[in-house]
Amino acid sequence: MGDTISYFLMAWTDPSLLMLTAIGTLAGIYVGAIPGLSVTMATSILISFTFAWDVNDALALIVGVYCGGVYGGSRTAIMLNIPGAPSAVATSFDGYPLAQQGEAGRAIGLSTVMSVIGGLIGTIVLASIAPFLSDMALEFAPRDYFLIAVLGLLLVGSLAAESLSRGIFAAALGAVIGLVGLDPVTADQRFTMGSMQLMGGIHYVVVMIGMFGVAEAFFQLHQLNAVPVRQKVDKIIPSFKLVLKYLPLSIRTSIIGVVVGALPGTGGDIASLFAYDHAKRTVKNPSKPFGQGAYEGLVAPETANNAAVGGAYVPMLTLGMPGDAVTAIIIGALVIHGLNPGPMLMIQTPHIFWFTVGNLVLANIFLLIFGLTGIKIFAKVVELPKAILIPLILVLCVVGSYSLNSSMTEVYWMLGFGLLGYFMKIFRFQMGPVILGVILGPLMDTTYRQAMSSVGDNGSAFLLDLVTHPLSIILTTTVVLLLLSNTPLKRMIKRRNKTA
């Protein structure tokens, strides 16, 4: 017990670790907030120059960037309707309408406090029930991963778009974009049309920057002369009463976040959508209608995506499996430092586990401090006239896409996706499902084929598997119910019940 506490407090008592966690968190907030920069990109770059550092120093910085970055993505989602990361897509549904109504300060303040609550709950769960959750995740079959990805796409399709058909079309389009390149198993070319440049695939960040950054920037040109909405930043710190009001919802959505985050391959993006859906379905009287600035629509995804950080660490530290893209990079960092991520990590180097837990708590405390104090500067940036902001956003988009491969090809792709995104926005197609499709498409392809291989390419056996295994039954039922709830069948049943 004494050792555990000393491991836990390691980052709290060492000034250099304390400083690195603080710097990482602050940097993460701005990395997450600046369009074109992503936490994944930042952690990849961090690994490249921290591999010679002491492992604790490197992990302290990376944990800070990760926590700060997941939260930072919500800032641009609220202020600019440009989610800094896929996990902040759901935040923009109600966060941006709140900013348009002049409540950006309160929205960011509330999202900060809720992010910290979510982050702390995620860390508590990581520390207490990590072995249990990791055991559960071990039982998952490829078909379950496939079903979870299907569920994620259906959720984002039904939530973000004005009709399920539009949402599913956008998600499928994203999946096709994600599949471009060489098949990972057979190296067959898929959707490359013989182009050498397409064989390496299209990076999802390019699609994200194009569709969220460039398309939004061009859309903003329509309101160039509109009087900017003055962002209220005088009420940054939410009242205790307000926090208390949304505490039960934040606890519920934190649990959703941590559980979804703990599922390998699913991170804050799906967690936040699940949480948003949960809020939409369970909150009877939201502060405003969902999609028009409901605080509940802000609280749910923000607590869930930060809680998912703690959840994502569970399979990474106990099974050596990444919870999301960032933890996949952190696994690489651990290996570089001579550690063995997986079940043996907790046996051979228990200090790494408890150090990480302590570090996550510390990063969340810094998140609260920096999140509540840095809003005025950030809001000032957003208050810049659009004529200044739009060219700057475009430059950041160019830098972000170029830095992926140091190639202008990515920049032209980004511009192309920006144009497509602009047209899609005009004709009421949402960007969220496209991005999720790009990320989940390859995962669905892999897990589908693994599941199919496991039944000897027998379609009937595959379908039977979906309804004969306990976890698969739950997931299949959820998928079917979600589909049915978006069809006229639900309305017919309701009408019939009313008549009866």
Which residues from 351-380 bind other proteins, rule CB under 8 A? Answer: none
x/- letters, 462..491, toward other proteins (CB under 8 A): x-----------------------x----x
Asked if 107 touches other proteins (CB under 8 A), the answer is no
Closer CB to other proteins, 25 or 253, in the complex: 25
Asked if 278 touches other proteins (CB under 8 A), the answer is no
Asked if 394 touches other proteins (CB under 8 A), the answer is yes
CA-to-CA separations, 332 to 253, 294, 321, in angstroms, rounded: 30, 40, 11
Which window, 97-105, 119-127, 317-325, 393-401, contacts other proteins (CB under 8 A)?
393-401
x/- letters, 206..225, toward other proteins (CB under 8 A): ------------x--xx-x-
Closer CB to other proteins, 173 or 362, in the complex: 173
Instruction: Report how far residue 109's alpha carbon sits from residue 74's, in angstroms, rounded to the nearest whole number.
Output: 11
The structure tokens listed for 436 are 């999720």
| Size of interface with other proteins, in residues (CB under 8 A) | 63
Asked if 7 touches other proteins (CB under 8 A), the answer is no
- Residue from the set 388, 496, 497, 498 that interacts with other proteins by CB under 8 A: 388
Q: How far is the CB of 403 from other proteins (least distance, A)?
A: 4
Phi, psi for residue 181 in degrees, rounded to 5:
130, -160
Which residues from 416-445 bind other proteins, rule CB under 8 A? Answer: 423, 426-427, 441, 444-445
The answer to whether residues 465 and 450 touch, using CB atoms and an 8 Å cutoff, is no
- Residue from the set 411, 438, 439, 440 that interacts with other proteins by CB under 8 A: 411
The structure tokens listed for 446 are 């892999």
Closer CB to other proteins, 136 or 172, in the complex: 172
The answer to whether residues 422 and 110 touch, using CB atoms and an 8 Å cutoff, is no
Phi, psi for residue 190 in degrees, rounded to 5:
-125, 120
Q: How far is the CB of 70 from other proteins (least distance, A)?
A: 18
Q: How far is the CB of 380 from other proteins (least distance, A)?
A: 14
Which window, 110-118, 232-240, 452-460, 468-476, contacts other proteins (CB under 8 A)?
452-460
Q: How far is the CB of 163 from other proteins (least distance, A)?
A: 4
Which window, 64-72, 119-127, 345-353, 400-408, contacts other proteins (CB under 8 A)?
400-408
Closest CA to 326 of 314, 309, 343: 309
The answer to whether residues 266 and 152 touch, using CB atoms and an 8 Å cutoff, is yes
Closest CA to 275 of 485, 468, 167, 114: 114
Instruction: Report how far residue 241's alpha carbon sits from residue 238's, in angstroms, rounded to the nearest whole number.
Output: 8
Instruction: Report how far residue 482's alpha carbon sits from residue 197's, in angstroms, rounded to the nearest whole number.
Output: 38
- Residue from the set 392, 467, 480, 489 that interacts with other proteins by CB under 8 A: 392
Amino acid identity of residue 299, one-letter, is V
Asked if 191 touches other proteins (CB under 8 A), the answer is yes
Amino acid identity of residue 349, one-letter, is T
- Residue from the set 373, 412, 493, 495 that interacts with other proteins by CB under 8 A: 412
Closest CA to 119 of 274, 257, 252, 266: 257
Asked if 227 touches other proteins (CB under 8 A), the answer is no
Instruction: Report how far residue 437's alpha carbon sits from residue 432's, in angstroms, rounded to the nearest whole number.
Output: 9
How many residues in total does the chain contain? 500
Closer CB to other proteins, 264 or 418, in the complex: 418
- Could you please report the per-residue DSSP string of 103-152? -HHHHHHHHHHHHHHHHHHHHHHHHHHHHHHHHHHHT--HHHHHHHHHHH
Asked if 135 touches other proteins (CB under 8 A), the answer is no
Instruction: Report how far residue 40's alpha carbon sits from residue 31's, in angstroms, rounded to the nearest whole number.
Output: 10
Which residues from 9-28 bind other proteins, rule CB under 8 A? Answer: none
The structure tokens listed for 75 are 């800032």
Phi, psi for residue 182 in degrees, rounded to 5:
-90, 140
Give the footprint of other proteins on this chain (CB under 8 A): 37, 42, 45, 48-49, 162-163, 165-166, 168-169, 172-173, 175-176, 179, 183, 185-186, 188-191, 193, 218, 221-222, 224, 385-388, 390-392, 394-396, 398-399, 402-403, 406, 408, 411-412, 415, 423, 426-427, 441, 444-445, 448-449, 452-453, 457-459, 462, 486, 491
